[in-house]
A and B are shown apart, each in its own frame.
Chain A
Amino acid sequence: MAPPKNRRPGFSRRAQYGLFLGYVIAAAGALVGAILLVVSAIDPTGFASLRMAAAEATAPVSTAFSSVTRGLVSIPQAIGDHFGTVSENRRLKKQITDNRELLMRARTLAYDNRRLKTLLALRERTSDAVAVARIVSSSASSTRRFGLLNAGRSQGVREGQPVRGPEGLIGRVLEAGPDVARILFITDPDSVVPVRRTRDGLPAIATGRGDGLVEIKPVSMGDPLPKPGDVLMSSGTGGIYPPDIPVARVLRVGRDSAIARPFAQPGTLDVAMVQRAFFPLPPPLPPSQNAPAAGAMPPTPAPTP
């Protein structure tokens, strides 16, 4: 290739200054970028309003695209389904006979459960749906795992609310804009979900790995690791995620942790339901007028949640 056009602007003093100014602006811009990075490391949600403004603009485009891409993505699936029908039919028939016995037992258990609960007059905390919307895009080129939900503050979505899909837990709301919300998927390295094994209630912690899987660690050192095939549900500990949402199935067990695949695969999900936080955080304490002395009661009593 021929060398690019000489960028030295010759003897024109004005042009030389212009070129120099360009370098100064670029260096200053890089410095500003570094400062912004430090600020966002200290306060990760600091630029939420800027990002949400951009998301507000892009979400309608994504929504318009989504019907098209959903159709295109489903074509290979449909072809595969066509050829796998016979074997799948056989497998499903066998599964039905296997499940029948289990179902009968579950029915009796559910009946017993209901009876015993009324006996105890146990008050169930229901976590009702806030909004149901589609997830329209994700942070596909970053190592973080965020999604964009097509519902925001005007639909009642707030920060910290859990998000689930038809198959299981998806994540939680990180930032809520007027009409869109950013979701932290449970596969993000920053996400932590308290879970328990369905079989016996063994508690564990599910941390995202960043590659579409989650890592299961027991809560205390002596606890056994879950085995491959074990199903983990959210436990409700911590107050964000309501209990008994399916989270993941264990794939393989390592030395001190197990690897599990989430039930809600962010690749196939489209509809997501935002729920109220199980135990919402208490409202922040009102700032005390005079700084309380050591051991003194704050002047205003803390509001009870």
Chain B
Amino acid sequence: MSAIVPMGVDPDARRVSPRTWIIPAVSVMLGSLVTIIPVIFPGGLLPPFGLMMLLAWRLLRPESLKIWSPVLLGLFDDLLSGQPFGSAILLWTICFFVIELIEIRLVFRDFWQDWLIAAGAIGFVLLAGRALASPIAAHVDTILALQILVSILLFPLIARFVGRLDRVRLRA
């Protein structure tokens, strides 16, 4: 890390370039926009790329996204996902609060723990989203389980990608 920072002075405060928050926000929005790719999946479900990008940014670079950013990013996702309006706003923000709580307890984390946290968050959002969107009798649980599994397994890739983007972000 850089030189010693005087107490009470935010080192980022002096050189806040818009790209430090634009790149995370835009990459999450692009993740939400994956659903507009015109390949129509009859049975399978696509992983929630917007959520995965958001979690990767939050876990890798806690200072890159403000605590209230999932409200706006979730609103954007709700416009595109087909889920009932408001579900991503609520569920994504809950994820941020819970990660904040975990972060207080678990200061030194490695990637495995990050992955575990992301897995929990993905599972929670997808299960809650299914409960909010579809009636209980709908036969979507098999494909939903598959979607959760694929999303969790894809998370390290997304995290690598976010790491790459982070290098671009901090290259001032």
Question: B18 an interface residue at 8 Å Cβ cutoff?
Answer: no
CA distance A44 to B86 in the complex (A): 12
Contact B62 A34 (CB under 8 A): no
Per-residue contact bits, chain A 130-149, to B (CB 8 Å; 1 contact, 0 not): 00000111111111101110
The contact of A138 among B9, B40, B87, B137, by CB within 8 Å, is B40
When A9-B10, A62-B36, A139-B81 are in contact, do A30 and B49 touch as well, CB less than 8 Å? no
The contact of B89 among A27, A36, A148, by CB within 8 Å, is A36
Per-residue contact bits, chain B 72-99, to A (CB 8 Å; 1 contact, 0 not): 1010000111111111111101101100
Of A46-54, A152-160, A245-253, the one contacting chain B is A46-54
Question: A116 an interface residue at 8 Å Cβ cutoff?
Answer: no
Contact B37 A37 (CB under 8 A): no
Question: B71 an interface residue at 8 Å Cβ cutoff?
Answer: yes
When A137-B35, A211-B43 are in contact, do A44 and B84 touch as well, CB less than 8 Å? yes
CA distance A5 to B107 in the complex (A): 10
A-B contact pairs, 21 of them (CB 8 A): A4-B62, A4-B103, A7-B63, A26-B67, A29-B68, A30-B97, A33-B74, A37-B84, A65-B37, A139-B83, A140-B45, A142-B45, A142-B81, A143-B129, A143-B134, A143-B138, A209-B138, A210-B143, A211-B143, A267-B40, A267-B43
CA distance A29 to B68 in the complex (A): 7
Question: B39 an interface residue at 8 Å Cβ cutoff?
Answer: yes
Per-residue contact bits, chain B 30-43, to A (CB 8 Å; 1 contact, 0 not): 00011111111111
Per-residue contact bits, chain A 52-69, to B (CB 8 Å; 1 contact, 0 not): 011000100111011001
Per-residue contact bits, chain A 102-122, to B (CB 8 Å; 1 contact, 0 not): 000000000000000000000
Least Cβ–Cβ distance between B35 and chain A, in angstroms: 5
Per-residue contact bits, chain A 82-124, to B (CB 8 Å; 1 contact, 0 not): 0000000000000000000000000000000000000000000
**Chain A residue at minimal CB-CB distance from B110:** A1
Question: B158 an interface residue at 8 Å Cβ cutoff?
Answer: no
The contact of B81 among A10, A46, A141, by CB within 8 Å, is A141
Q: Which residues of B contact A (CB under 8 A)?
A: 1, 7-11, 33-43, 45-49, 61-63, 66-68, 70-72, 74, 79-91, 93-94, 96-97, 103, 107-111, 114, 129-130, 132-135, 137-140, 142-144, 147
Query: For chains A and B in complex, what number of residue pairs have CB atoms within 8 angstroms?
Result: 201
Per-residue contact bits, chain A 31-47, to B (CB 8 Å; 1 contact, 0 not): 01111111111001011
On chain A, the residues within 8 Å of B139 by CB distance are: 209-211, 213, 215
Question: A187 an interface residue at 8 Å Cβ cutoff?
Answer: yes
On chain A, the residues within 8 Å of B80 by CB distance are: 54, 58
Least Cβ–Cβ distance between B130 and chain A, in angstroms: 5
Besides A7-B62, A142-B45, A211-B142, 12 new A-B residue pairs in contact (Cβ under 8 A), listed by A number: A4-B103, A15-B10, A27-B97, A30-B94, A33-B93, A36-B85, A40-B85, A58-B36, A69-B39, A139-B35, A147-B40, A211-B143
